[in-house]
Structure 1
Amino acid sequence: MELAHILAALTGIGLALFAITSSKLATGLLVCLFACNLFLVLSTARHVQLVGARRRFRRSEQASRDQRINPYEYYLFVLGSGGHTKEMLMMMDDGYCSFQNFHRRYLISSGDAMSTNHVVDYETELEALCATQALMNPPANTIGARMRYPTCIFTNGPATGFFVGLAAHLLKLLYVVPETSMHIVYIESWARITTLSLTGKLFYYTGIADVLVQHKEVAEKYKVQYCGEIVFNARREI
């Protein structure tokens, strides 16, 4: 409703300027206002379409969770510094989202040696170190071409994860990548017992990601998916 009011106001201003004067400046302003209105309308419509597609994808993913894994799919994990990386690896080992059944790639901030070491240790223990090596040397064969975009992007913060998710959403908004790829999933920290973190709220209110929480109180408050205390369900010591 607020967007409609803004569009109406912009249109009214443009018409008023055009009525007052027929100068080239007024005509140019009117054209700019019309273009802005059109862009806002199309962007909003596309955003709503993507949100609907995300929800359909979530239902189909849950329905086919036990089916054969597509060899051309992979998950991308956005790792934050410090405790965020440790917590993400613990949640990956839980098995709630079947992380281990997919090829995995990691997005780590430049200079974050601690996160890199954690990932190498984790993959070495799983006897899958090649998953991280693939990030440095992408395959040039047919499989590599078909794995151009991740099926899902997982993050648990901090704000870096939101900017990655926002960039992925904008790429889909502009039809640069297919809407069936780069499905964004945000897993809230176990430490958030009663409310979402700032990053969680950004994902929640923009609607660009599925938000998973580890406490029932938070799930009931925001009407989001409760996944249990998966950070404590790791099958191995991380």
Structure 2
Amino acid sequence: MTRCASRHTIKAHRVKTIHLILSSSQQFRVPKTRRRHDPTHLLIVLGSGGHTAEMLAMLRRLPLDPTVYTHRTYLVTTGDSFSATKAAGFEKYLQERYPKSGSFSIITIPRARRVHQSFLTAPLSALQCFWVCLCVLRGTHPQKLPQGVPHYPDLILTNGPGTAVCVVLAAKLIRFVHAVPGIGMRNSTIFPLRTIFIESWARVTTLSLSGRILLPFVDRFLVQWPGLAGKRAWKGMRETEYAGTLVE
């Protein structure tokens, strides 16, 4: 009986610790420590098909100012020539609109899960995608960024689907490691890799699967319908934010 109670106490302590780490990370406000003209690295996850079209439509409407986000990295998955073509077209649009549009890169990563892929093999492909995402964020991916661009993105912007989960969790892991005393840089400069998840315009009353998974992990979670505002993973976590319609 005592042993069973002890195990229950340890399990409860672990759950409480995980909750504390996640909630404190979400509630932490990042000081404005960047200088005005420092290069800013934006990483944009293109989820293929409708997700890509919606993401680029949002970037056009914002609008994305390339004089602020001086380097843009687009993550596309293997075989998704549509997203790569659309990203290149969007960059051409920026170059025509802004004389000094900075630079951009298109990096290809494996899919977290292929269409109609068996759920038995999906965990393996998801782990492979997660590992490659770690390599991209740490600057060890074979596709290198232009010289002078910081390999750690300052901001990661995504609207799903599965690949977004791997990217955000990889960023969260890197930030966690750098915050551990004795390992990371707790007393150094503020670490980048801030994350924003934008729920699809098609989601009116319920969150997507990717959204439900990432709700406890992202720094900001934007929704486009009032019915999704104020949702959170559990007490103490940051709520979803109603941003209105973001697509054109």
RMSD: 3.5
**Aligned counterpart, 1:196:** 207
Residue of structure 1 aligned with 2:161, choices 152, 158, 161: 158
Q: Which residue of 2 aligns with 1:131?
A: 104
C-alpha distance in 2 between matches for 1:93 and 1:105: 16
Hey, what's the Cα distance between the residues in 2 that align with 1:9 and 1:52? Answer: 36
TM-score, length basis structure 1: 0.67
Contact 1:43 1:173 in 2 (8 A): no
TM-score by length of 2: 0.64
Aligned twin of 1:12: 6
Map 1:19-30 to 2 at 5 A.
none
SS in 2 for 1:185: strand
Structure 1 residue ranges, 4+ long, deviating more than 4 angstroms after superposition: 8-11, 36-45, 67-70, 96-100, 133-137, 176-179, 220-223
Q: Distance in 2 between matches of 1:153 and 1:49?
A: 20
| Aligned pairs, number | 193
Report SS of the residue matched to 2:247: helix
What is residue 118 of structure 1 aligned with on the other side? 86
Change over 3 Å in CA distance of 1:129–1:72 after alignment to 2: closer
1:42 CA displacement: 5.9
Q: Distance in 2 between matches of 1:86 and 1:185?
A: 18
- Residue 219 in 1 paired to residue 229 in 2? yes
Partner of 2:246: 230
Please say if residues 156 and 189 of structure 1, whose CA atoms lie closer than 8 Å, have aligned partners that are also in contact: yes
CA distance in 1, matches of 2:16, 2:57: 42
Structure 1 residues 10, 95: CA separation in 2 closer, same or farther (over 3 Å shift)? farther
Q: Measure how far apart 1:226 and its partner are.
A: 1.5
User: Are the equivalent residues in 2 in contact too, given 1:92–1:100 (CA < 8 A)?
Assistant: no
| Cα distance in 1 between the residues matched to 2:6 and 2:107 | 55
Check the 8 A contact 2:44/2:72 in 1, yes or no: yes
Q: Deviations over 1:120-142 (max 9, x none)?
A: 111012115841379944233xx
- Give unpaired runs (5+ residues) of structure 2: 96-100, 109-142, 233-238
5+ long unaligned stretches in structure 1? 1-7, 16-32, 233-238
- Taking only the aligned residue pairs, the percentage that are identical comes to 30
- What is aligned with 1:28? none
CA distance in 2 between counterparts of 1:112 and 1:125 reads 21
**Alpha-carbon distance in structure 2 between the residues aligned to 1:9 and 1:94:** 59
Structure 2 contact 46–76 (Cα < 8 Å) conserved: yes
1:30 counterpart residue number: none
Q: Deviations over 1:24-60 (max 9, x none)?
A: xxxxxxxxx8xx999777655443432232xx13xx5
Q: Tell me which residue corresponds to 1:5.
A: none
Contact 1:74 1:104 in 2 (8 A): yes
Q: Does residue 173 of structure 1 match 2:176?
A: yes
- Corresponding letter in the other structure for 2:26: V
